Amino acid sequence: MHKSTSRRKSFRLYAIATTALLGLGAMAALIAGVTPATAANLASQPDTQIAVFMVPLTILVVAILLEATRIALRGALPAEAPLRRTTHRHWSPGQGEG
């Protein structure tokens, strides 16, 4: 069976980019002087909790709206696949046994 390497390469690139962003974020936090105590104090504030919940949710809703707009502006929806032709099996209960 043929295995595709493009998916593996794209995953590797994604993993490297994510690791680099995580490292940069950690470095920026250390330079800014963020310590676990100050981060815990910041996380206990209601505004921070709301932002942590609402920012990803807002990004998700905007992405869904953009995708719906892209599909609507593209034109007609793709044609549905034709129905499968039913194959008649010449069998009924009680036939073909023994």
pLDDT digits (tens, 9 = 90+) for 40-95: 888 888 888 888 899 999 999 999 999 999 988 887 666 777 777 777 677 667 66
Total tally of structural domains belonging to the chain: 2
Note whether residue 57 is domain-resident.
yes
pTM score, whole prediction: 0.44
Cβ within 8 Å of residue 71, ≥6 positions away: 77
* pLDDT of 2: 55
Q: Does residue 4 have a pLDDT over 60?
A: no
Note whether residue 52 is domain-resident.
yes
Cα–Cα dist 64/55, whole Å: 14
Total residue length of the chain: 98
Whether residue 26 sits in one domain with residue 37: yes
Are residues 17 and 10 in contact, defined by beta-carbon separation less than 8 angstroms? Answer: no
H or E segment and range at residue 17:
helix 6-32
Give the residue with greater pLDDT, 90 vs 22: 22
Domain span including residue 70: 45-75
Give the residue with greater pLDDT, 37 vs 70: 70
Whether residue 23 sits in one domain with residue 36: yes
- Token pair 């921070």 is found at 48
The tokens for 54 are 């609402």
* pLDDT of 95: 63
